[in-house]
Amino acid sequence: MRAGRLAAAALLLGPLLVCAAPLRSQEADPPPSAPRACPPPRPGRYLITARGRLPEGPVARLMQETWTAEGTVEGVLMERRGRTYRRVGYSGTWKELIPCAASVQRRLPPPGPPAASPPPSPAVAADAEGEAGESTTEPPGVSQPSELVIGPDGRPRFGIDVTPGSVISERWRLQPRRACSASTLDGVMVGPGNGFAWTGSRWAPLALIQRQTWQGGAVVGVAVTSLEGKGSVSAFRGQASVEESCLGTLRQQDAAGRTITGVLVAHSDGSGFAALRTQPDQPALLLMERVGPVPPSAPGP
């Protein structure tokens, strides 16, 4: 009789025990492994190009920024904000947010009306039209925060300006600590650019590509430009000045006599440069890369 009751209990409990076995097995499985963490953000000097919009209009920026191992930041900002250009020094801090992401907090002078233009360098004509002045005397007081993604080598690669009201993306490039000069950029450069042009009542989208030949600061080239789909092709020549810090100025004039002025940051390894137009009607960035040496027929300084 007792044996019969045990057999009946086994029949009733058997399915429950069978069902429970997989549950115990699942609970014992280890959790999935976490993705491999990125290395910590890498201190160094960086070239940053940024463009987008603020409530008051389009904005384009060039920055050369140095991160220290202690978490501090020093840099130079060259910015076109609508029709106003400024160049200011700044300081700040950086930190890792989570693996593969970091933030930087810059402390900048508040934007204001353009000051009188400073004397240009000897390599650039003194009558550079449309080049607004620099302002470096205003007291610091405006925060400009950015959040970044970090590459597998620890270098910041891309960023977003997270200032309220802004829609601005950033591209970061490591800038090794080497002295620059005008001859750093000797060779053939090609690259695209885009931004906006003021039509008298609104900002219209602008796109361009250029081929340039550099030798000792002298530049000749060809530009293809599209303003709202209306294309044009023009040849130009110009002159540039590049400081040891790799910051410089550029002035070009085409066959029709139109003048383009700008500032630039040379890649310290000579592989290219980034330029920002400074005349009030065209906030545009140009990203050039070196594709060949100086040809035999290139212009001299």
Is residue 169 included in any domain, yes or no?
Answer: yes
Residue with tokens 């796109």: 207
pLDDT value at residue 32: 52
CB-based contact 143:33 (threshold 8 Å): no
pLDDT at 114 over 50: no
pLDDT at 254 over 50: yes
Q: SS3 of 258, please?
A: coil
CATH assignment at residue 224: 2.40.128.120
Do 195 and 146 share a structural domain?
Answer: no
Return the higher-pLDDT residue of 266 and 131. 266
Range of the domain at 204: 182-292
The pLDDT confidence band at residue 132, using thresholds 50, 70 and 90, is very low
Do 288 and 187 share a structural domain?
Answer: yes
Do 139 and 59 share a structural domain?
Answer: yes
Q: SS3 of 63, please?
A: strand
Do 76 and 133 share a structural domain?
Answer: yes
- One-letter amino acid identity for 274? A
Q: SS3 of 87, please?
A: strand
**pLDDT tens, position by position, 183-210:** 999 999 999 999 999 988 899 999 999 9
**pLDDT tens, position by position, 155-192:** 999 999 999 999 999 999 999 999 999 999 999 999 99
DSSP string, 135-173: ---SPP-EEEEEEEEE-TTS-EEEEEE-STT-EEEEEEE
**pLDDT tens, position by position, 10-51:** 444 444 444 444 444 444 555 554 455 789 999 999 999 999
Total-model pTM? 0.78
- One-letter amino acid identity for 65? E
Domain closes at, from 149, 174, 199: 174
Closest CA to 243 of 215, 282, 217, 280: 217
The pLDDT confidence band at residue 92, using thresholds 50, 70 and 90, is very high
Domain closes at, from 141, 174, 207: 174
Count of beta carbons in the 10 Å neighbourhood of residue 249: 21
pLDDT value at residue 295: 85
Return the higher-pLDDT residue of 126 and 154. 154
CATH assignment at residue 93: 2.40.128
pLDDT at 120 over 90: no
Do 186 and 127 share a structural domain?
Answer: no
